[in-house]
């Protein structure tokens, strides 16, 4: 199965089992907008909880807020979003399709990498055992030529993006002979700037409508509340403010399911520090955030850092944490050293002092900021892709199992009466009544026990608890583990502590300590 097929199956599975639906589906959907179903919302809430507690509860100098989506329009002038939150777009005149110029070039670059990989595979077959990949990459004239051209285009693109040189971006597209995937032609418009912020109006038109924006990031809600929190919480530097909330971006190319959406959720934390200490904290947060990802146990090699070549207007250092998605390594989270840019700008635009009085040094100054910023939905997609597994069982049957870390699983346990009679359903309900006070548990009595197991595997439930006739006699039940399908009998009175131990966040948090 190719990675592309795997991804298609994952998207279908997410829909079939109530994780993610296209928005307004009965009206044929709305591009790049999705709804979370009954399983998706549980998974998403657990991911948010993992982030929130790891950031706020496990750090005694980080607190949370929940700011409004609407903000004073001047916020976005100060932050630079009105003038600089743009993507370079280009249209194909024949298909009338719109693209991001940099994405067209990046796709071309990826194709060159695929060509090189194919050459390497051919050579590996030709040379057999004695094949030396490193040497081949360095000496094969065709590969060397491909790689040189790719590197040259990559360099040109980075420079053009940094300089906002749209003529050059268009020229690269022409030089690489990039054609529109729909029309197949190279009939391109000029490259233009496209602002990603959604606008709306407040107030009735008669009163004179005021344009405001749907926030494109949650961070600004933290910056404008910096002094409120610092003063009322009597916070001392270094300290952080965390927030989870919706953000909106009018993305030109929306694709890869919930990877790039127009309405999405972010989990951001701004860490306020003394100027000059930003590199120390930048390294700290890079390390901590990577640990948070790897603690989920999806394989350390599936994560990597990617240092930014093009720094955003506010940053003096920035790196992404990338995950190995079915469509390649892609950004899940960004860690940015934002200097005093944002607070400094708000000080300028609002005319209010955004300074901190440092009792230790006796000085007042605008703090520096290191931020961590992760998309909730992208994290959901990361977890879904990592968890999705197809398995052939010993008896020849197949199962799809979502191998979620138990703490993130939407349902922690299913309680299943073996048959629908003899008092077994009643006993199962009694067990559930005790467990549901602390855990999300499901009752299921329909179909054979095997089918019921499959349904729970498909939504990633870590434990299936079967109630049978012996349960009536000695109060024991069978516990089946999702991953190895091992079964053992335990006393029903033990279930609570078993679920607490195995499905709680404690084990994850211990890894972060």
- Residues lying near ligand ATP in the complex (CB under 6 A) are found at 217, 249, 251, 260-261, 264, 266, 331-334, 373-375, 377-378
Give the separation between CA 221 and CA 79, rounded to whole angstroms. 11
Instruction: Work out how close the CB of 398 gets to ligand ATP at its nearest, in angstroms, rounded to a whole number.
Output: 32
- CA 469 vs. chain centroid, Å, equals 45
Q: Which residue is nearest to ligand ATP (CB)?
A: 375
DSSP 182-225: TT----B---EEEE---EEEES-GGGT-EEEEB-S-SHHHHHTT
Instruction: Work out how close the CB of 451 gets to ligand ATP at its nearest, in angstroms, rounded to a whole number.
Output: 36
Of 371 and 457, CB closest to ligand ATP: 371
CB 91 within 8 A of CB 97: yes
Instruction: Work out how close the CB of 278 gets to ligand ATP at its nearest, in angstroms, rounded to a whole number.
Output: 17
Instruction: Work out how close the CB of 131 gets to ligand ATP at its nearest, in angstroms, rounded to a whole number.
Output: 36
* Helix, strand and coil percent figures for the chain, each rounded to 5: 45, 25, 30
Of 229 and 335, CB closest to ligand ATP: 335
Pairing of strands 199-202, 210-213: antiparallel
Of 312 and 485, CB closest to ligand ATP: 312
Of 46 and 220, CB closest to ligand ATP: 220
Instruction: Work out how close the CB of 328 gets to ligand ATP at its nearest, in angstroms, rounded to a whole number.
Output: 13
Instruction: Work out how close the CB of 379 gets to ligand ATP at its nearest, in angstroms, rounded to a whole number.
Output: 7
Helix (H, G, I), strand (E, B), or coil: what is residue 90? strand
Instruction: Work out how close the CB of 240 gets to ligand ATP at its nearest, in angstroms, rounded to a whole number.
Output: 16
Give the separation between CA 306 and CA 335, rounded to whole angstroms. 10
Of 264 and 281, CB closest to ligand ATP: 264
DSSP 4-49: HHHHHHHHHHHHHTTSEEETTGGGT--TT-EEE-HHHHHHHHHHHH
CB 146 within 8 A of CB 119: yes
Of 319 and 467, CB closest to ligand ATP: 319
Of 88 and 334, CB closest to ligand ATP: 334
Give the separation between CA 322 and CA 86, rounded to whole angstroms. 23
Residue 91 bridge partners (DSSP): 98
């Amino acid at each position: 199965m190719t990675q592309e097929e795997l991804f298609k199956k994952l998207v279908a599975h997410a829909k079939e089992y109530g994780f993610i639906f296209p928005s307004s589906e009965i009206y044929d959907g709305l591009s790049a907008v999705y709804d979370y179903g009954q399983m998706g919302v549980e998974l998403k809430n657990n991911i948010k909880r993992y982030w929130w507690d790891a950031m706020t509860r496990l750090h005694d100098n980080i607190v949370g807020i929940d700011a409004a989506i609407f903000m004073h329009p001047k916020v976005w002038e100060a932050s630079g979003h009105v003038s600089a939150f743009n993507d370079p777009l280009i249209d194909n005149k024949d298909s009338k399709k719109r693209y991001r110029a940099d994405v067209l070039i990046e796709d071309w670059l990826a194709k060159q990498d695929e060509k090189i990989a194919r050459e390497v595979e051919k050579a590996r077959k030709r040379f057999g055992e004695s094949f030396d990949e490193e040497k081949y990459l360095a000496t094969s004239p065709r590969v060397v030529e491909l790689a040189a051209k790719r590197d040259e285009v990559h360099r040109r693109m980075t420079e053009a993006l940094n300089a906002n040189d749209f003529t050059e971006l268009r020229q690269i597209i022409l030089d690489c002979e990039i054609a529109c995937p729909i029309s197949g032609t190279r009939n391109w418009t000029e490259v233009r700037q496209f602002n990603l912020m959604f606008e709306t109006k407040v107030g009735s038109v008669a009163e004179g409508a005021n344009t405001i924006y749907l926030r494109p990031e949650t961070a600004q809600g933290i910056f404008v509340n910096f002094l409120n929190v610092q003063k009322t919480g009597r916070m001392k530097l270094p300290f952080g403010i965390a927030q989870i909330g919706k953000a909106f971006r009018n993305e030109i190319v929306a694709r890869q399911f919930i990877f790039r959406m127009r309405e999405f959720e972010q989990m951001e934390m701004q860490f306020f520090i003394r100027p000059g200490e930003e590199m120390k904290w930048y390294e700290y947060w890079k390390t901590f955030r990577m640990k948070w990802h790897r603690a989920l146990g999806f394989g350390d090699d599936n994560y990597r850092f990617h240092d930014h070549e093009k720094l955003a207007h506010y940053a003096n250092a920035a790196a992404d944490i990338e995950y190995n998605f079915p469509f390649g390594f892609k950004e899940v989270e960004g860690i940015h050293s934002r200097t005093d840019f944002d607070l400094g700008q708000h000080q300028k635009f609002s005319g209010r002092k955004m300074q901190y009085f440092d009792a230790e040094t006796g000085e007042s100054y605008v703090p520096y900021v290191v931020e961590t910023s992760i998309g909730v939905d992208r994290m959901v997609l990361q977890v879904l892709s990592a968890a999705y597994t197809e398995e052939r069982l010993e008896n020849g049957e197949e199962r799809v199992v979502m191998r979620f870390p138990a703490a993130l699983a939407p349902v922690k346990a299913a309680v299943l009466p073996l048959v629908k009679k003899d008092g077994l359903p009643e006993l199962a309900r009694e067990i559930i009544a005790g467990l549901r006070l602390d855990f999300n548990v499901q009752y299921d009595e329909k179909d054979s026990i095997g089918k019921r197991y499959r349904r729970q595997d498909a939504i990633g439930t870590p434990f299936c608890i079967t109630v049978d006739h012996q349960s009536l006699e000695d109060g024991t039940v069978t516990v089946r583990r999702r991953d190895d399908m091992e079964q053992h009998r335990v006393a029903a009175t033990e279930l609570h502590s078993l679920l607490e131990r195995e499905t709680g966040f404690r084990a994850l948090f211990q890894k972060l300590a």
